[in-house]
Copies of this chain bind each other. A is one copy, B any other.
Amino acid sequence: MTTTLPPRDPDSRVAQHSQPGEHMTPDEFQRYGHLLVDWIADYYRNVEQYPVLSQVQPGEIRAQLPPDPPQTGEPFEAMLADVERVILPGITHWQSPNFFAFFPANTSGPSILGELLSAGLGVQGMLWATSPACTELETHVLDWVAQMLELPGHFLSTSTGGGVIQESASSAALCAVLAARERATGFASNEVGCDGTLTAYISTQAHSSIEKAVKIAGLGRERLRLVEVDEQYAMRPGALAARIAADRAAGLTPCFVAATIGTTSSTAMDPLPEIGAICREQGLWLHVDGAMAGTAALCPEFRWMQRGLELADSYCFNPHKWMFTNFDCDCFFVADRAALIQTLSILPEYLRNQATESGAVIDYRDWQVSLGRRFRALKLWFVIRHYGVEGLQMQIRRHVALAQTFAGWVEADPDFELAAPAPLSLVCFRHKGGDAVNQRIVEQLNRSGALYLTHTKLDGQYTLRMSIGQTHTEQRHVAQAWALIRAASRG
């Protein structure tokens, strides 16, 4: 293709603008696209100037929007002006290097461009035939990712399993619960419904998305056992085995365990070898959730956390958290793709096609809840190629080093203490003065706009979480955060 750049003279815009109500022409798209790209570049140049946590009150954004939709079309410049005037004050800046809340949802230039290309091509990836490249690039890049993390071989598409991009770890967990439910009932629950006898197991520290999945799948929250954890907040395998035995004795059917490598609350690592052995022996589906911390396994020195993963039936982690790929991009791997496909497959007449019936292709609509899907592999492909494996390793090591430096400062300060082990990029800590002091620190700092920090509770105590993983966070941001935290603790 040859690229013809339209004139950038502002006066020519009016003349070339399409008639109201007409489609935006390619020339107009080029001009406004450049304008928006420039705007985004400036956003990143200036992002540290904004309060990290939006300071608006409920209803404040809506109050600035017109009550009725416009009857006639408006120029793009008007929208962009409103983005700056109305929207920007209501943004909590997840891409600020001073964002330390929840978990990172970091992104990067190549990822943003991959999302743009996906939107530009506008293809549906529900079937192989509806865009073969959408399916094949996804399968291929997920095999790359499995190699990059050194995942067990059965998670590769060239073996019995394979990977798929899910919207989130929540939807991945739901698919895992469903496949477990079906495998445990000989694929009968899909046909006759649940009967209230299936049980599932997580630690008390597992993510809320697993409970949500268990409820959605019709198992019932009361059938989800919250297994006790040790002093490092990791699941106790003995307690798991005892729960399973008790349920069997009560005539119930244990079917699913979710273990976490890197809990949201505190990066606790459930012991996969022991949990996996129990699941194998008992015939339970083991899903491993590495949503937040899984990216660390790009580096060989952090792969200890994957020990035992060869015993898992499914695994997920989120490049949209800590691998510079914008939401949504959860990588979900299964060891036995046939079980997943049999669980989720539907084939109405209007979707029949030769490629599907040949059996030679993957139709990803059978690997997820929704039928439709966009071309999400592009952004992951761009990210991996932009950084290369070594570049990604370097960036992850930087974040971990920053977190370890921060943890060292906490340990060295007589007024503060670590609240849990900090093996990777999340540091759970607290001021020794008690819940009220810690709560005041969070509220005061978030209100200041200088940084954004959130909390959890560990052993019933209010605990601060310093989550380091935004793309552009450097030592100076972490050092400033620590200075502000110490200052806030003094009132």
Contact = CB atoms under 8 A, between A and B. Distances in A.
Bin chain A's interface residue count. 35 or more
A125 to B, nearest CB: 9
A271 B44 CA distance: 52
A62 B221 contact: no
A210 to B, nearest CB: 10
A80 to B, nearest CB: 9
A388 B349 contact: no
A30 B117 CA distance: 15
Interface stretch (A35-43, A273-281, A301-309): A35-43
Nearest to A177: B216
A326 B61 contact: no
A232 interface: no
A29 B168 contact: no
A160 interface: no
A386 B132 contact: no
Interface in A42-72: 42-46, 53-54, 56, 58-62, 65, 68-72
A288 to B, nearest CB: 18
A350 to B, nearest CB: 4
B136 A61 contact: yes
B22 A73 contact: no
Interface in A186-212: 189-196, 198, 207-209, 211-212
A193 B222 contact: yes
A86 B1 CA distance: 14
A71 B392 CA distance: 9
Interface string A340-383: 00001011111111010010110000000111111000100110
Contacts of A220: 189-194
A263 B317 CA distance: 37
A132 to B, nearest CB: 4
Contacts of A42: 1-4, 26
A76 interface: yes
Contacts of A25: 109
Interface stretch (A100-108, A399-407, A481-489): A100-108
Contact of A361 (B58, B88, B111, B120): B58
A226 interface: no
Contacts of A454: 350, 353
28 contacts: A3-B41, A20-B388, A21-B387, A21-B391, A23-B472, A33-B34, A56-B133, A59-B360, A60-B132, A61-B137, A68-B144, A70-B389, A72-B391, A74-B388, A79-B386, A83-B378, A91-B134, A94-B124, A102-B124, A112-B122, A115-B115, A122-B327, A170-B370, A170-B372, A174-B216, A195-B195, A216-B216, A350-B455
A-B pairs, top 10 by smallest CB distance, nearest first, are: A218-B218, A21-B391, A90-B133, A193-B220, A24-B109, A33-B37, A40-B120, A194-B218, A115-B119, A61-B136
Given A70-B389, A90-B137, A115-B118, 10 more contacts: A40-B116, A56-B133, A71-B388, A71-B390, A73-B390, A74-B385, A83-B117, A90-B131, A115-B115, A189-B215
